[in-house]
């Protein structure tokens, strides 16, 4: 509760700071001599009919969902761009009072076909991996959790290393190919959901886990107006040592295939991902193999009813094919209805209903000591501010 109080106080101070930044009436970033400052802050609420979700006491209604970030960037000439994003969040028992560096990078664009980014860089994978923490750009409060689990965001969001990227213009009849390739190191933050899952098993990490990562994304902006098709692949290894044990995940390939159609008031998207895991968890002298074959897909659609109001729905499907998929503990299927209202260019509110079947994702033993009901209905709400 003490941490929650501090988070709420921080959110109020951040909101006040952001309000002062926009007191000139500007709806855009504050810009002094080329330096651009952007930011966002949001406050969420979650209520669940059964179970406690995402380490929140959501069955009683929880406000433990605060998020804020500031981005500072500058263009040093036509080709070079540098920036940093500092982020604070509290999601149930995840996150904390410390500011984290979401990304901090230099970006040198040689030309439209080739550029280089280096530093802590957001990882391009699937439709939304690199933008999953930017609540302001989405209709949804929660992205499909089978593909973008919010409690594991800190692990998937970025890597320390380098990217090469660019676009190949194929002509009016063939569209444009966008590519991004990267290599580096990814770290599981001590506030991440995976750390909590290991702690629930009796394995308490005091140092961050991590390992080498590399991969790429190829996105085809097709000649059909508004239609993009793409595919990503990521290879990730993880190693970590705790006082009572360790974890080892050999390099693991995670593919994603997706399509998006956006024209006028209509938005449609679908994605299929796979995450096979063959890890070894050692507790004391006992080596425990952990095998999973996560298969997830989602289909979503939205319609902009007016300049200020947008509504939509998605179905998210996740199963662990390496286990008995008839058991709720091995799947998570979610029907979602969402609405978003933009009061103006920088204030917005969202409301969302979830009809969740299965308990494989988003649940923790420590916040559900009496076990889990197989199904849960949830209501989420958020207000946000961004500039």
Partner 1 sequence: MSKTRFLILLLGSLGSWSAARAQDVVLVANKGVQISEITNADLRAIFLGTRTRFADGSHAVPVTLKGGPVHEVFLKSHVGESPEEFRSEWRKVIFTGQGAMPKAFDTESALIEYVAATPGAVGYVSLISSQDRVKVLAAVK
Q: Which one among 46, 121, 209, 356 touches partner 1, defined by CB under 8 A?
A: 121
Q: For partner 1, which is the closer residue by CB, 250 or 339?
A: 339
d(CA 217, CA 230): 7
- Which residue from 44, 68, 83, 211 is in contact with partner 1, where contact means CB under 8 A? 83
Nearer to partner 1, 367 or 386 (CB): 386
Interface with partner 1 includes 38 (CB under 8 A)? yes
Start-to-end CA distance of the chain, whole Å, equals: 30
In order of 135, 176, 310, the CA distances from 221 in angstroms are 24, 5, 24
Measure the CA–CA gap between 242 and 188, rounded to whole angstroms: 13
Two tokens at 304?
């902009």
Run of H or E including 10:
helix 2-21
Asked whether position 382 contacts partner 1 by CB under 8 A, the answer is: no
Q: For residue 374, what is the DSSP state?
A: S
Which residues, at least 6 apart from 328, have a Cβ–Cβ distance to it below 8 Å?
357, 358, 359, 360, 372, 374, 375
Residue among 291 and 305 whose Cβ is closer to partner 1: 305
148-177 residues near partner 1, rule: CB under 8 A = 167, 169, 172, 176
Residues 256, 274: Cα–Cα separation, whole Å: 7
* Binding of residue 214 to partner 1 (CB under 8 A): no
Q: Which of 42, 52, 55, 107 is in the footprint of partner 1 by CB under 8 A?
A: 107
Report CA-CA distances (Å) from 103 to 15, 73, 99: 22, 11, 12
Q: Which stretch binds partner 1 (CB under 8 A): 13-21, 55-63, 103-111, 376-384?
A: 103-111
* x/- track of binding to partner 1 for residues 291-320 (CB under 8 A): -------------x--x-------------
Q: Name which position in 22, 30, 49, 75 contacts partner 1 (CB under 8 A).
A: 75
With beta carbons less than 8 A apart as the criterion, state whether 138 and 386 touch. Answer: no
Smaller CB separation from partner 1, 100 or 262: 262
With CB under 8 A as the contact rule, the residue among 103, 140, 258, 318 that binds partner 1 is: 103
Neighbouring residues of 170: CB distance < 8 A, sequence distance ≥ 6: 176, 177
345 binds partner 1 (CB under 8 A): yes
Residues 6 or more apart whose Cβ sits within 8 Å of residue 152: 192, 193, 194
- Identify residues 255-274 at the interface with partner 1 (CB under 8 A): 262-264
**Cβ neighbour number for residue 227 with a 10 Å cutoff:** 16
Q: Does 17 bind partner 1 (CB under 8 A)?
A: no
Pairing between β-strand 35-48 and β-strand 347-357 as defined by DSSP bridges: unpaired
Which of 55, 81, 93, 256 binds partner 1 (CB under 8 A)? It is: 81
CB of 50 to partner 1, least distance (A): 34
The minimum distance between CB 114 and partner 1, in angstroms, equals: 12
To the nearest whole angstrom, how small is the minimum distance from the Cβ of residue 309 to partner 1?
A: 11
Q: Provide the β-strand partners of residue 218.
A: 179, 231
By the rule CB under 8 A, 226 interacts with partner 1: yes
Q: Which of 116, 134, 183, 379 binds partner 1 (CB under 8 A)?
A: 134
Minimum CB separation of residue 64 from partner 1 in Å reads: 23
* Residue entry with tokens 């213009």: 169
228-239 b/e (C-beta count within 10 Å ≥ 16 → b): bbbbbbbbbbbe
Q: Which of 5, 23, 111, 289 binds partner 1 (CB under 8 A)?
A: 111
In the complex, the residues that contact partner 1 under the rule CB under 8 A are 27-29, 36, 38, 40, 69, 71, 73, 75, 78, 81, 83, 85, 103, 105, 107, 109, 111-112, 117, 121-122, 130-131, 133-134, 136-137, 167, 169, 172, 176, 178, 225-226, 262-264, 304, 307, 342, 345, 386
């Amino acid at each position: 509760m003490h941490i929650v109080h501090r988070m709420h106080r921080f959110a109020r101070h951040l909101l006040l700071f952001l309000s002062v930044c926009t007191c000139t009436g500007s709806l855009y970033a504050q810009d002094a001599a080329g330096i651009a400052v952007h930011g966002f802050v949001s406050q969420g609420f979650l209520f669940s009919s059964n179970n406690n979700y995402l380490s929140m006491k959501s069955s009683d209604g929880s406000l433990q969902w605060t998020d804020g970030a500031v981005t500072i960037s500058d263009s040093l000439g036509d080709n070079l761009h540098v920036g940093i994003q500092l982020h604070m969040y509290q999601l149930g028992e995840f996150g904390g009072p410390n500011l984290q560096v979401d990304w901090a990078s230099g970006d040198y664009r040689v030309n439209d076909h080739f550029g280089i980014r280096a530093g802590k860089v957001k990882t391009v994978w699937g439709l939304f991996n690199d933008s999953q923490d930017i609540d302001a750009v989405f209709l949804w409060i929660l992205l499909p959790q089978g593909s973008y689990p919010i409690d594991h965001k800190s692990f998937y969001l970025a890597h320390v290393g380098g990217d090469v990227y660019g676009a190949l213009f194929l002509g009016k009849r063939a569209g444009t190919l966008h590519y991004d390739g990267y290599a580096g190191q990814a770290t599981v933050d001590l506030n991440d959901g995976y750390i909590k899952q290991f702690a629930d098993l009796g394995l308490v990490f005091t140092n961050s886990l991590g390992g080498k990562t590399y991969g790429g994304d190829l996105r085809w902006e097709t000649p059909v107006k508004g239609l993009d098709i793409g595919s990503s692949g990521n290879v990730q290894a993880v190693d970590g040592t705790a006082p009572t044990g360790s974890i080892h995940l050999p390099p693991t390939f995670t593919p994603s295939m997706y399509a998006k159609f956006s024209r006028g008031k209509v938005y449609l998207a679908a994605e299929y991902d796979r995450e096979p895991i063959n890890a070894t968890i050692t507790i004391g002298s006992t080596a425990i193999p952990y095998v999973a074959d996560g298969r997830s897909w989602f289909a979503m659609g939205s319609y902009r009813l007016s300049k200020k109001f947008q509504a939509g729905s998605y179905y998210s499907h996740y199963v662990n094919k390496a286990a008995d998929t008839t058991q709720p503990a091995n799947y998570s299927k979610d029907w979602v209805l969402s609405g978003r209202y933009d009061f103006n260019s920088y204030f917005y509110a969202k409301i969302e209903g979830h009809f969740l079947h299965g308990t494989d994702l988003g649940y923790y033993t420590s916040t559900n000591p009496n076990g889990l009901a197989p199904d849960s209905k949830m209501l989420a709400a958020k207000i946000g501010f961004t500039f």
